Chain A
Amino acid sequence: MTANSSPFLSASSLDKTFVLHAQGGQQLAVMRGLSLSLAPGECLVLAGRSGIGKSTLLKMVNGNYRVSGGRLTLHFDDGALELSDLPAQAWHRLRRDVIGYVSQFLRVVPRVSAREVVMEPLLARGCDTHDAHQRAETLLARLNLPERLWALAPGTFSGGEQQRVNIARGFIAEHPLLLLDEPTASLDSANRDVVVELIQEAKARGTAMLGIFHDEEVRTRVADRLLPLEGHMLGGTEMPASSAMPVSSESSSATTPSHKESLQ
Chain B
Amino acid sequence: MKRPQLKRPALLDARNITRLYGPNQGCQDIDFTLHQGEVLGIVGESGSGKSTLLRVLSGLEAPDEGQVIYHSTQQASAAAGSATENLDLYAIGEARRRALLRMEWGLVHQNPRDGLRLGVSAGANVGERLMALGQRHYGDLRAAGQDWMERVELDPRRIDDAPRTFSGGMQQRLQIARTLVTQPRLVFMDEPTGGLDVSVQARLLDMLRTLTRELGLSVILVTHDLAVARLLAHRLMVMRQGRVVEAGLTDQILDDPQHPYTQLLVSSVLTP
Contact = CB atoms under 8 A, between A and B. Distances in A.
Interface stretch (B50-58, B105-113, B245-253): B245-253
Interface string B230-258: 11011100000000000111111011111
Given A21-B260, A262-B234, A97 B206 contact: no
Contacts, number: 137
Given A59-B255, A241-B267, A256-B271, A110 B202 contact: yes
B8 A89 contact: yes
Contacts of A91: 234, 249
Contacts of B258: 19, 66
Contacts of B230: 247, 259-262
A63 B251 contact: yes
Contacts of B234: 88-89, 91-92, 262, 264
Contact of B256 (A66, A76, A258, A263): A66
A63 B252 CA distance: 7
A246 B271 contact: yes
A173 B251 CA distance: 20
Contacts of A98: 1, 4
A263 B209 contact: yes
A123 interface: yes
B231 A109 contact: yes
B123 to A, nearest CB: 26
Interface residues of A, number: 53
Given A64-B251, A77-B2, A247-B227, A123 B206 contact: no
A81 B7 CA distance: 13
Contacts of B231: 109, 260, 262-263
Interface string A6-34: 00100000000011111000000000000
Given A66-B252, A78-B2, A248-B254, A109 B206 contact: yes
Contacts of A249: 271
Contacts of B7: 90
A252 B270 CA distance: 11
> Among A78, A123, A264, which residue has the most Cβ atoms of chain B within 10 A?
A264
Nearest to A259: B227
A247 B206 contact: no
B227 A260 contact: yes
B8 A247 contact: no
B226 interface: yes
Interface string B1-19: 1111111100000000000
Contacts of B271: 246, 249, 252-253, 256, 258-259
B38 A92 contact: yes
B91 to A, nearest CB: 26
A81 B250 CA distance: 21
B213 A123 contact: yes
B272 interface: yes
B264 interface: yes
A245 B250 contact: no
Given A21-B260, A77-B2, A89-B234, A65 B252 contact: yes
Given A94-B4, A245-B267, 10 more contacts: A21-B259, A64-B256, A76-B1, A91-B234, A110-B202, A247-B254, A248-B254, A248-B266, A257-B198, A257-B227
Interface of A: 8, 18-22, 59, 62-66, 76-79, 81, 86, 88-94, 97-98, 109-112, 123-124, 176, 239, 241, 244-249, 252-253, 256-264
Interface of B: 1-8, 35, 38, 198-199, 202-203, 205-206, 209, 213, 226-227, 230-231, 233-235, 247-252, 254-260, 263-264, 266-267, 269-272
